[in-house]
Every structure is written in C-alpha cells, then in structure tokens.
Structure 1
Amino acid sequence: MLEQSPPCSEIIEDIEDLISIQDIGPKERYSSRKNVKVQVKKKNINNLPIPVPIGDNIPGIQKIYIKTWGCAHNSSDSEYMAGQLAAYGYKLVEDKTLADLWLLNSCTVKNPSEDHFRNEIETGKKQGKHIVLAGCVPQGAPKSSFVQGLSIIGVQQIDRVVEVVEETLRGNTVKLLGTKKENGKKSGGASLLLPKVRRNPLIEIIAINTGCLNQCTYCKTKHARGDLGSYPPEEIIARAKLAFEEGVVEIWLTSEDTGTYGRDIGTSLPELLWKLVEVLFL
C-alpha cells in the first residue's frame, strides 16, 4: 500500500548541552558536551500542577503513554520511539492516567488534529504529567505559545527519544530540533533499522522519504518535514526483510511525497519497487 502521506526546573536548548558527571544514562554514549546554555524556568503563573522529577531511578518503573495523530509516517515514527523506549526498560501503557510521561506525536495538516493535540497538552498539564512533544506541530512552529516550557523532539531526531524522555523525567525541559544530513544533503532521518513496537504486529510501515519538492501555500507540513530526503534503497530493503522475519505479512511504503522518492539520490519509486520484488518475492 502506498500512502501520501520541582518548581525551578532547567530549560536546556539541546540535550547535548547538559553536563552532569553524576548522571548515568544514555547521553553518556555521546561525546559532545560543551556550550552549556541553561536558564531558570519562569514562575507557574497558571497555577497548574508541576510534574515532580523522578530522580535517578530511571528507567525501570516509569510508564509511558504515547498518542499519535496524523499520517502513516507519524505512526511509524511513534512505533520507532515506542521500540526504543521499551528496549531501554520503560513500560508502555494504554491508560494515560497511569503514565508518568506523555509522548504526544502531532500532525499539522488539518486544524482539528492540531486542536486535539493542544487540548491533550492542556489535559496533561492539569494532571501534572511530564510531557514530551513530537511531530510536525512543534517542529514547524516551535515558538507557538502552547508548546513553550515543554520538551520537544524533532521529526528527524526520534532516534534520541530515550535521552529526551530521561531528562524530562528528571525535571529538565529539552528542545531537540535539527535536520540530519549526509554528504551535505538532507537525509531521510533516523535509521530505519531501529527497534519498533508495532500497533499492528502484521503491518510494517516504512517511511521511504521525508519532506517534499513542493511549496504549497495551504500546507504547513513543508515547514516541519522540509525538503525531500530519501532513504537509500538498500536500507529500505533491509527494513522490509527484517519485518518479514519478525512475522509481518503486509508492508506500507509511505512519505509526504511518495511519488518523488529517489529524485534527490538518483533513483525512483519504480526502481525501488522492483528491487523489493526481487528480494522479497522471487
């Protein structure tokens, strides 16, 4: 199927800016630790409950609730983030009232989904939940008033969701936005070979590219996903083979501009499909 698819916490512009020699966590896998930028969070003028920092017992007992709006690409991103969190030891729950942290993956194509996203943020705040925002809304409009003071993970940074969740649970606010590049050009994003927790164990959603070639005046997704960035065919094929080995019987190829796949890397959608047929069905 093809689809077009405690009171004074710290605010840290990028999780790589956080330095703490006492902390033991996934951020220690990264070597960049400079240019620290920290500022005190403003007073709680709305009198909403302030999420209580978990402390150093991370992970192991924390429960994560993931909510997704939008296209198949967003669903795939949520499955990848769920997979990494589960692999690191967090427990995924369907009942949001039981969760320690809400991971909200947004869609900006239509106003109703963005309104639901905003309402869910307010609900989480009223319940005193730790909140991490993902998806196209905070990526495309990070200065929006309703996302201020909350952790944000960019659409091309989902491979670092464990770090963002960990620091958010500790009481920090992290903004991790950026664009991945290979050889000076925009890439598809996080690796397709990351662990996954599929909502439907029989269906694998593979994002073959991100962004698009157009600049439609009515569409805000361009501001979030940016220009076209295609995944190499070999990485897509490797993901498909892995999925079938894990019991998947159906594959969806998705993106924001599926028909333009490969134009930025010298290939095309028909070529990709023939390669998939050769590897998977012959």
Structure 2
Amino acid sequence: MTNKPKVFIKTFGCQMNVNDSEYIIGQLVKLGYSITEDISKSNLILLNTCCVRAKVEQKIYSLIGKIKKIKENNPNVILGICGCMAQKEKENIFERAPYVDFIFSPSQVNNLEEIINAIRYGNKKYISCENTPEFSFNHVPVKRESKISAWIQIMRGCNNYCSYCVVPYTRGPEQSRGVSEILSEVNNLAQNKYKEMFLLGQNVNSYGNDLSQSATFSKLLELLNNINGIERIRFTTSHPKDFSFDLIKTIKSCNKICNHIHLPIQSGSNKILKMMNRKYDIDYYKNIIKEIRNNIDNIAITTDVMVGFPGETEDDFMDTLRAFKEIEFDEAYTFIYSNRVNAIASLLPDQVPLKLKKERLWRLIELQKDISTKINKKLEGMIVGVLVDKKSKKNIANQFSGRTGTNKTVVFTSKQDLLGELVKVKIIKSSPWTLYGELIE
C-alpha cells in the first residue's frame, strides 16, 4: 500500500480565504492527498495569500523565500500560490521566485482538480487567473475546520472601488451564488448538526443585484431563518451605503439572526470618507446606527477603522475620535493605512508619516478599550446564551469558550464536554475583549 501524498497549506487573510482553503482541502483530499502541518514532509505546498496590507504581502514573500531551500533539497515538491496576492502579482511571483510551480486566483478555487492534474502532467509555471462567468460551489468537495459553525460564501467580488482597496482587482466584480444552491448547502449542513451559519461576502447587502431572479439579501435571510436545525445566522461584511431599513426589519423579525452587526466606518471625517470613495458621510452613517438601535434590542455593533489615510490631518483624526465617543462601538478592528499598488489612494499626495500613523492608532485603540470596558462591565451579573465552540487553548482543565449572540467571547468551566452546545452562562467578570462566567446547570 503506497503512502498518500501530503499537502501543507497555509492561509493568510480574511474569512473568505479561510473558506476558500476549506474547498481547496476538500478537493485535494478527493485527489488522494492527506493534510500535514509539517511543511518539510509535504509533497505539495500551497499558500493561500492576502494582499490587503503591504506587511502581509512582505511576510508571504519571505515565506516563499524560505521554501526555496525545501525545493532545492527535494525538486519534486510542488509549490503553488493562490489567493488575492496571486491574482495581483501573477507573473511577478515567477520573476521573484522562479521555483514556484503554479498560481491561481480566488475565482479558480473550484477548478483546483483541473489545475493539479495540469501540474502532474508537467505543465509548470501554470497560471489560472481568469474570472469565471458564474460563482458556484456546486459539487465541489469541502472539508470544514469546524463541526459547529460553517462559513458560507453567498457572493464574491466587489463593485465599490474604495480608493484604498485592491479587492475589486483581485476578486473581480460582484457575483452572487444562486439562492437554491445556498439553501441546499445550508440544509445539508443542518442535517449534519451544524448550529451556526456565517454568511460571507465583500458586501453582503448587495447580494442578488446581479441575479436575474428577484433575490435580495433580506429575502435570503428570511429563507435561511426557516431552515430547521439551524440555531444562529451571522453575516459579514456590510457596506453602510447599502444597509437598508428593509434589512433592519428582517434582522428584527428573524429569530435566528444574531444581534450583531459589523458595519465598517473607516473614518469619522467627511473629507477622508469622500477621498476614500466610501459613498456616504458621517451623518448618514450615524443615522443607520440610530435606526439599528431604535429597532433591534440588545444589538452589538462592531466596526473597521483606518488611520493615516493620505491627507488625514489632526482635525480629521479628531472627527474619528468624536464619532467613536458618540457611537460607542462594542469593538473596533483598527488598521494603519497601507499603500497598495493599483489602489487609487497610493497616488494621493500628503502621505502621513508612519510615526504619526502609529501614534493615532494607539490613541484610537485606547479610546476603544475604554468604551469596550464600559460596555462589557454592564454585562456582569447577567445570564447570556453561549454557543460553545472551543476548548481552552492553554490546556486549562475543563475550560471552554464560546460566543454570545452579540459575538462576545465567553470563557467558563464545565466538567462535561459541551462543544457544539448552546448553554446559559452567568457573567461574573469582564475585560475589554472577553467575558468570564459560570455555567448555569
């Protein structure tokens, strides 16, 4: 009996990439590969890449450089690069690392079997980066990381062309998966005891705009809410310009949709928002927040924000701080602006010095830390519902963690194995990022 060939895969970036890797692994397992975490023992090395920030891209190129020694020691090892950086860099990767064997883009993930067969038959320096006319995962095998929560890509690509972002260039224009295909996938997951569906898209609010049938994101949520066995529905990411009152009503009326909305603000300055091509101003954004909170009880709102965008003055940054103080997000993912080739913002004058970017980032993080501390402190003494999805990473006996419907992490102990269960926990202590509680038996 021959040993199975081994594949090592490393994933960088967002949840879309994580889900892409699940489909990549599913296809490779079908082709006879086994998964290894030891890169030195692999026959196939795959890097699923990201290029949203320059630092990540540099890290990936550094890893590609280290793999050169593995290839020199064993020329039969196959090295493939996929994901957004593969789409952006294409032939540049071969120029910088001639020992790379093949490259494919996010839109080609479901064609991996064809790509691997081409490499097996000696087609080296293979590039597959064409956009496909239809977005479908029908009949594509998938091996999911979790047995509890499942990523579901409902669309890919983006039509917004924010001036700092390369996603429209790396993942192409918006393409929605068909409603029936999504419903079939979720029904199958429900039958396999999955409790939580996490819907993914660069802009889920524009789901269905490209479909011939009358499909909207709100209608899709209503259909998913009716599937038996599913306990929770989450989604990300939403664009403020497309966040409708109809969607707010749907979230309120559907009992399985979690009380958590991630709504990137990016900046509190109207000048910077316009330069970013975000297509809304800060008053419009605040009004959405007001409508959400007026209509949905116990809602948690998180956000993305960027500091140091070209031309950002101290006054612009102060506008962001004021917006944060007024809105009071539950949590914020904070980033320093990073120049990206192809993004329009890379051509703008008045680039902010790195030292000043870091200082502004620190000030914003400290403000958000205080806000999160205050919000989470109010939860002490309350009983919350928790979907248990992890055992302790620190090997602490009987320690579990899970998330509330508002997407807050809760840590507690139990002598029972409660993975995958929805339990009640009384919060006894809080921090800006984590809640600690006691299981209600």
Q: Same fold (TM over 0.5)?
A: yes
Aligned to 1:61: 4
How much has 1:260 moved relative to structure 2?
A: 1.2
Aligned residues: 218
- Amino acid paired to 1:243: L
Aligned to 1:101: 44
Q: Which has the higher helix share?
A: 2
Q: Does residue 87 of structure 1 match 2:38?
A: no
How much has 1:225 moved relative to structure 2?
A: 0.7
Aligned partners of 2:58 and 2:159: how far apart in 1?
Answer: 27
Aligned partners of 2:168 and 2:17: how far apart in 1?
Answer: 14
Q: Does residue 240 of structure 1 match 2:240?
A: no
Q: Does residue 250 of structure 1 match 2:200?
A: no
How much has 1:68 moved relative to structure 2?
A: 0.6
TM-score calculated relative to the size of structure 1: 0.71
Q: Which of the two has higher C-alpha Rg?
A: 2
Q: Does residue 168 of structure 1 match 2:119?
A: yes
Native 8 Å contact 1:140 1:224 kept in 2: yes
Q: Percent identity?
A: 27
Q: Does residue 152 of structure 1 match 2:98?
A: no
Structure 1 residues 202 and 277, CA, compared in 2 at 3 Å: closer, same or farther?
same
Q: Does residue 208 of structure 1 match 2:158?
A: no
How much has 1:124 moved relative to structure 2?
A: 1.5
- Amino acid paired to 2:14: C
- Amino acid paired to 2:48: N
How much has 1:143 moved relative to structure 2?
A: 3.0
Q: Please state whether the residue corresponding to 1:131 is helix, strand or coil.
A: strand
Q: Does residue 277 of structure 1 match 2:229?
A: no
- Amino acid paired to 1:146: R
How much has 1:278 moved relative to structure 2?
A: 1.9
Native 8 Å contact 1:60 1:89 kept in 2: no
**Aligned with residue 72 of structure 1, among 10, 15, 19:** 15
Q: Please state whether the residue corresponding to 1:279 is helix, strand or coil.
A: coil
Aligned to 1:194: 140
Native 8 Å contact 2:7 2:44 kept in 1: yes
Native 8 Å contact 1:209 1:228 kept in 2: yes
Aligned partners of 1:115 and 1:134: how far apart in 2?
Answer: 15
Gaps spanning 5+ residues in structure 2: where?
Answer: 72-76, 231-441
Q: Does residue 125 of structure 1 match 2:61?
A: no
Higher relative contact order (CA 8 A, sep 6+): 1
Structure 1 residues 245 and 163, CA, compared in 2 at 3 Å: closer, same or farther?
same
Native 8 Å contact 2:156 2:175 kept in 1: yes
Native 8 Å contact 2:23 2:140 kept in 1: yes
Native 8 Å contact 2:155 2:176 kept in 1: yes
Native 8 Å contact 1:132 1:168 kept in 2: no
- Amino acid paired to 1:227: P
How much has 1:154 moved relative to structure 2?
A: 2.1
Native 8 Å contact 2:45 2:79 kept in 1: yes
Native 8 Å contact 2:90 2:127 kept in 1: no
How much has 1:193 moved relative to structure 2?
A: 4.3
How much has 1:165 moved relative to structure 2?
A: 2.8
- Amino acid paired to 1:258: V
Q: Please state whether the residue corresponding to 1:276 is helix, strand or coil.
A: helix
Aligned partners of 2:173 and 2:156: how far apart in 1?
Answer: 8
Aligned to 2:277: none
- Amino acid paired to 1:150: D
Aligned to 2:90: 142
Gaps spanning 5+ residues in structure 1: where?
Answer: 1-58, 182-186
- Amino acid paired to 2:187: K
Aligned partners of 1:250 and 1:147: how far apart in 2?
Answer: 41
How much has 1:151 moved relative to structure 2?
A: 0.1
Q: Does residue 259 of structure 1 match 2:205?
A: yes
How much has 1:126 moved relative to structure 2?
A: 1.9
How much has 1:170 moved relative to structure 2?
A: 5.3
Provide the aligned C-alpha RMSD in A. Answer: 2.1
- Amino acid paired to 1:255: G
Aligned partners of 2:5 and 2:180: how far apart in 1?
Answer: 36
Native 8 Å contact 2:51 2:84 kept in 1: yes
Which region of structure 1 is more displaced relative to structure 2, 66-75 or 192-201? 192-201
- Amino acid paired to 1:252: F
- Amino acid paired to 1:273: L
Aligned partners of 2:120 and 2:221: how far apart in 1?
Answer: 42
Native 8 Å contact 2:21 2:48 kept in 1: yes
- Amino acid paired to 2:68: K
1:94-144 alpha-carbon deviations (Å, 9 max, x no partner)? 111111111110111112222222122112222114211110111123132
TM-score calculated relative to the size of structure 2: 0.47
Q: Please state whether the residue corresponding to 2:106 is helix, strand or coil.
A: coil
Q: Please state whether the residue corresponding to 1:156 is helix, strand or coil.
A: helix
How much has 1:164 moved relative to structure 2?
A: 2.4
- Amino acid paired to 2:89: A
Aligned to 1:177: 129
Aligned partners of 1:195 and 1:71: how far apart in 2?
Answer: 21
